Structure 1
């Protein structure tokens, strides 16, 4: 019961956070596209480039990249070498997933720590053409890594559930957020 409650709560938290991340990423792509189009029109039609558009577009690209990272991890759409995993026994595959996800969590932990220090140092550096500090740009990294860590905790719990006997596994398969995720 405890594992199911933990998985269910974490799944709901992840689905809520990833839903916000999805719409923020889509918004960033749309605004970034408009800003870059504005830059092109001003530069080549009016022969007068705006100073802030290139920097703003680049910063939006950075945010979009790190905000979309946990979504890609959750859906399993990142680069992966899975040409032999289907040949493994079910329990072996789940054990391998637990090991790999744990290693990814270790890397994400160090990336989170280093990116937080990097963002903190950016608080003293102002952007070239925008009235913000680089902290607000670099903050996307620890946010993306932190959300990705939450995703991998859930994936580890799912793999642990996969190791359980079939009967116990069937009891835990009730996934309340699964229908919601399909909408993402």
Structure 2
């Protein structure tokens, strides 16, 4: 549980920093567009990539905090043992999905964009770097769900 608290803390700090950078970035965009009359060329692209990172990393963070949206119609009809078994089953489905879509699919996406040498138009950073957050988030979600199953915190 101590490792999980550290991962939560680090992930929360990373998300807060990304959001702060995004706010400063958008404020700079507004300032350069309306005050200086010449919009900054990189801010739109940076805001887009930061939004991707916040969305995907935020999903991992929310998953770890067990604050995600859930439909509890079926668990409400089951007894305590049935609810526990259902939650374990759902966690395994999430693990399989995250492994196949986020980890395997994300690694393939990163590999393809790295191999093709794709760079972002304005920032000139490798798109593989931008997309690397997908497998990282998948691994984090898998870690959280396995931790929930092992520690029986369902």
* TM-score normalized with structure 1 length: 0.77
Query: Corresponding residue for 1:150?
Result: 143
Query: Corresponding residue for 2:6?
Result: 16
Aligned residues: 151
Which residues in structure 2 correspond to 1:49-60 (within 5 Å)?
49-60=39-50
Q: Distance in 2 between matches of 1:148 and 1:122?
A: 23
Which structure 2 segments of 5+ residues have no match?
Answer: none
Q: Distance in 2 between matches of 1:122 and 1:34?
A: 28
Q: Distance in 2 between matches of 1:65 and 1:20?
A: 16
Q: Retained in 2: the 8 A contact 1:39–1:50?
A: yes
Query: Corresponding residue for 2:126?
Result: 133
Which residues in structure 2 correspond to 1:52-71 (within 5 Å)?
52-71=42-61
Per-residue Cα deviation, 1:156-179 (whole angstroms, up to 9, x for no partner): 1233x78xxxxxxxxxxxxxxxxx
Q: Distance in 2 between matches of 1:18 and 1:74?
A: 7
* Larger-Rg structure: 1
| SS in structure 2 at match of 1:49 | coil
Query: Corresponding residue for 1:44?
Result: 34
Which residues in structure 2 correspond to 1:1-184 (within 5 Å)?
11-111=1-101, 112-123=103-114, 124-159=117-152
Q: Retained in 2: the 8 A contact 1:122–1:135?
A: yes
| Cα drift, residue 75 of structure 1 | 1.8
| Cα drift, residue 64 of structure 1 | 1.5
* TM-score normalized with structure 2 length: 0.91
Q: Distance in 2 between matches of 1:80 and 1:146?
A: 21
| Cα drift, residue 19 of structure 1 | 1.3
Q: Retained in 2: the 8 A contact 1:55–1:129?
A: yes
